Amino acid sequence: MPPSPPTTMQPRKTPIQNRSRVTVEAIYEATIQVLLRDGMNDLTTTSVAERAGVSVGTMYQYFPNKQALVYALNARYLDALAVRIEATCREQSGAPLGQMVEALIETYWAAKTERADVTRALYRSVAELNNDALIHAFAERVDRATAEMFSSARDAVFADVPRANLALVTVIYGTVRNAFERGLSTQAAADLRQDLTTMCRAYLANFSV
Amino acid sequence: MPPSPPTTMQPRKTPIQNRSRVTVEAIYEATIQVLLRDGMNDLTTTSVAERAGVSVGTMYQYFPNKQALVYALNARYLDALAVRIEATCREQSGAPLGQMVEALIETYWAAKTERADVTRALYRSVAELNNDALIHAFAERVDRATAEMFSSARDAVFADVPRANLALVTVIYGTVRNAFERGLSTQAAADLRQDLTTMCRAYLANFSV
DNA sequence: CCAAAACCTGAAGATTTCCTCATATTCTGA
DNA sequence: TCAGAATATGAGGAAATCTTCAGGTTTTGG
């Protein structure tokens, strides 16, 4: 294990021509596959390049080092997730509170479950990365979206929007992740999801008009 | 990075004399400290041995490899956590439901927060380990304890204990972890904790007698 | 058509790390 | 006391990985 260099997470060069865009895309895809197959520990620059069908040199033209590669992959994933959450929030704008909660749970749950193996692999891959900034930026972004959505509810009025928002998103995201890590059966997962909804709605009853 | 060998997680030898027990203890402590200082990535067998004041050879007499060391450390941590949860469950046996929930949240929250840096370091250290079995054993153990506690509540009757139990523990553990990862301010954390309690109680109202 | 820019290649250098083993020291129990 | 068990040592072998760079190929734009 080589020592962790003063890691630069910034991409090295941005693709300009089309073939390089394809290359970079292939590298991302290969990274996921290697992560799934070997795990972060055995993910080597060589194995990724090989799987992507390019040479290591090419990889290093776009990513300054191995960690930056995984970092970028996670940034992508979080961005896609944020986009989905934001879309849900827009759709639910002005809806009743209960429906909002249900929609939010649905979106988050689906995003994590659809490709459970990828989700799990990514969770593991970032553990040793300096991704606090990434996580915080993501949290701020989606918190803003959900807070705005809740504010727009036609059947509620909040004394302290940020507080209620934090409570809801923390409980929802935390529960989904925990449920996911437990590897629940389909039935148990469905029950849990319903109970989670129940809980959130019970909490929200405090604010209904 | 050497390839991941068919890792044996089992300890190699059990200390018999007192000096070796002290040695093993020192190794555990050193592992935590190196984990805090350098992170899992830069944790080397040499650095741990050095910090512990023993030679690498000694370390390898008790742990077959590096991963087994970290694995054992986590097993220890989980055991300590389970013991605390079980104690709380015993104490609350026969109490009112609301009090049980509060006590459980208190215990779990405290355990995770008391030494936040250690908790975080351990979370990160296991990410790449094959610790599913460990996690499942832990979950089963504490789930049994809490389920029994809830069953004993004097002011409630459950149609489906396992289901209610799963909902509660998943929400509580998940929320605490998520809150913890967000690095909330003291005030925000206190608010959240209260809201979490509120939610759980609202959910439990369905079962009160 | 052609010069310049963009892109790709991959062998090899520079480092590091894990773990063993032969040997030395300390402890225990009779 | 003392033989055997338990424990400790630490230099070095064996193995792998990351990353570079000099040079070749493809594309672009005028």
From the alpha carbon of A42, which nucleotide's C1' atom is closest? D17
Parts of chain B with a pLDDT under 70: 1-7
The token pair at B95 is: 């109490």
B133, containing H or E segment: helix B132-151
A132 CA, D18 C1': Å apart: 25
CATH H superfamily, domain A18-64 = Homeodomain-like (1.10.10.60)
Contacts of A137 (CB under 8 A, 6+ apart): none
CB atoms within 10 A of CB B90: 11
Q: Tell me which architecture the domain covering B18-63 has in CATH.
A: Orthogonal Bundle (1.10)
Q: Are B110 and B71 in contact (CB under 8 A)?
A: no
Biggest CA–CA distance in chain A, Å, is: 62
Bridge partners (DSSP) of residue A208 are A156
A27, containing H or E segment: helix A18-38
pLDDT for res B1: 38
From the alpha carbon of B22, which nucleotide's C1' atom is closest? D7
Opening angle at CA B13, ends B7 and B17, nearest 5: 155
**From the Cβ of A42, is strand D under 7 Å away?**
yes
pLDDT for res B50: 96
Contacts of A198 (CB under 8 A, 6+ apart): B203, B206
Opening angle at CA B166, ends B108 and A105, nearest 5: 95
CB atoms within 10 A of CB A204: 24
**From the Cβ of B27, is strand C under 7 Å away?**
no
CB atoms within 10 A of CB A117: 10
CB contact under 8 A, A42 and B3: yes
Chain A residues touching residue B132 (CB < 8 angstroms): 183
Rg value, chain B, Cα: 20
Parts of chain A with a pLDDT under 50: 1-6
From the alpha carbon of B3, which nucleotide's C1' atom is closest? D16
pLDDT for res B140: 97
Chain A residues touching residue B1 (CB < 8 angstroms): 1-2, 41-42, 44
Q: Are B103 and B91 in contact (CB under 8 A)?
A: yes
A133 CA, D15 C1': Å apart: 36
How far the first Cα of chain A sits from its last, in Å, is 59
Helices A97-113 and A186-204 pack at an angle, to 10 degrees, of 150
- Closest CA to D15 C1' — which residue? B2
Q: Mark A171-190 as b/e (b = at least 16 C-beta within 10 Å).
A: bbbbbbbbbbbbebeeebbe
Q: Does domain A74-207 have CATH number 1.10.357?
A: yes
The label of the residue with tokens 């799987």 reads A51
Report the distance separating Cα A198 and Cα A184, nearest Å. 19
- Closest CA to C21 C1' — which residue? B57
Report the distance separating Cα A72 and Cα B69, nearest Å. 31
**What are the structural domain ranges in chain A?**
18-64, 74-207
Best B41, B117, B161, B208 residue to mutate vs chain A (most A CBs within 10 Å): B41
Q: Are B199 and A164 in contact (CB under 8 A)?
A: no
Q: What is the DSSP letter of B14?
A: -
The label of the residue with tokens 């929400």 reads B171
Report the distance separating Cα B151 and Cα A114, nearest Å. 35
Q: Which amino acid is at B152?
A: S
The label of the residue with tokens 């090295």 reads A12
Helices B161-182 and B132-151 pack at an angle, to 10 degrees, of 120
Which of 3.30.360, 3.30.70, 1.10.150, 1.10.357 would CATH assign to domain B68-207? 1.10.357
CB contact under 8 A, B182 and A139: yes
pLDDT for res A7: 64
Report the distance separating Cα B166 and Cα B164, nearest Å. 5
